[in-house]
Amino acid sequence: MDASVNRISSSVDERALLIALYLRGADNHRISYSLEELKLLVKTAGGIVVDCITVRRDSIDPAFIIGSGYVEKLKARIVEHNLKLIVFDLNNIKPAQIRNLEEELKCRVVGRNEIILDIFARRARSAEAKIQVELAQLKYILPRLKGLGGVLSRLGGGIGTRGPGETMLETDRRHILRRIDTLSRKLKHYREHRKRTRSLRSGELSGAVVGYTNAGKSTLINLLARDDLFVEDRLFATLDSYTRSVYIGPGVKTLLTDTVGFIQNLPANLIESFRSTLEDIENSAYIIHVVDSSAPDIENNIRTVEAELAGLEVRDKPVILFFNKSDLVDEKT
């Protein structure tokens, strides 16, 4: 391990303030749902959500996102609530904006992408998943190093800086490039192994189970296969792709592959790194799209999954919609 990669503690929860922007002409209804989802993401990453606020602006401030005046208002709130983390419900915050905010607020600042990448790092179990996640994180950090300056190394570990195994992410450009090359070569071997495995199963009927994160994909496969895949009522509980043999009728057997869950605005580097896993979807004969019937924004969840599938070579494959958690709908009504 490189000397600049340090072990950190995963037991210290970070007190976080979440900020959403209401920009002129934006869909405020969608912003509300997105902020609620961000709360779940931060909690999954180990953070303590102290408060959520919304800031109305005509446009995003190029230096401070929310404007220098609002930054001054935040300083007192940070001290009062002992906040360690500010999370913006934005995807690609510019490195200069992060640097400016952290210098003024004296606490860490991240966006939705960093939270999702951090969750993947915490949840990765298999060697392949850990490689995929670390590769995605390093590719995300690399173009941002110059703009961030010494922010990553100065502020130490925490949500958004952890790699698989609770280590701090590398911050030296030369080491990152070498590490990316090493991980890419390792991932290539896993991809070739998957191709060989699919070739051996080419004569069998196979399907892929997809869905929004925490929709219940693994639960469905467990029920059909009478198996015990890891199941937990949390976002991104499973990152690994598993295949099980199930009977769907008298003498009718099929293979079902559990895949990583999707979420709105999934970082592109994650999709790229998990490409070998997503190929299981492309090579299936059919797709089962599991939908959480109780989700507050069910239509958006369905559209998100369909949009991700549109980026894969699955256009001609039949898709079965499976509506899960209907009992929770009854409870809400």
Q: What is the pTM of this model?
A: 0.84
Give the Å distances, CA to CA, from 318 to 217, 261, 285, 288, 289: 18, 19, 8, 9, 10
Lowest mean pLDDT segment, chosen from 147-151, 159-163, 175-179: 147-151
pLDDT digits (tens, 9 = 90+) for 83-134: 999 999 998 899 899 999 999 999 999 999 999 999 988 888 889 889 999 9
Sorted by where each starts, the structural domains of the chain and their CATH numbers stand as: 14-174 (3.40.50.11060), 203-332 (3.40.50.300)
Inform me whether the pLDDT recorded for 294 exceeds 60: yes
Residue 246 makes CB contacts below 8 A (sequence gap 6+) with 221, 224, 225, 253, 254, 255, 256
Q: Which of these, 192, 226, 184, 214, lies nearest to 295 by C-alpha position?
A: 214
pLDDT of residue 10: 42
pLDDT digits (tens, 9 = 90+) for 315-326: 889 999 999 988
Inform me whether the pLDDT recorded for 283 exceeds 50: yes
Residue 164 makes CB contacts below 8 A (sequence gap 6+) with 121, 124, 129, 130, 133, 134
Could you give the residue ranges of the DSSP H alpha helices within the chain? 28-44, 68-81, 95-105, 112-123, 127-141, 145-148, 151-155, 173-200, 217-225, 268-273, 275-282, 298-310, 326-332
pLDDT digits (tens, 9 = 90+) for 198-253: 777 777 899 999 999 999 998 888 888 876 555 455 566 667 778 888 888 788 88
> What is the band of 279 on the pLDDT scale with cuts at 50, 70, 90?
confident
Question: How far apart, in whole angstroms, are the C-alpha atoms of residue 171 and residue 128?
Answer: 22
pLDDT of residue 331: 60
Computed on alpha carbons and rounded to an integer, the radius of gyration of the chain in Å comes to: 21
pLDDT of residue 141: 85
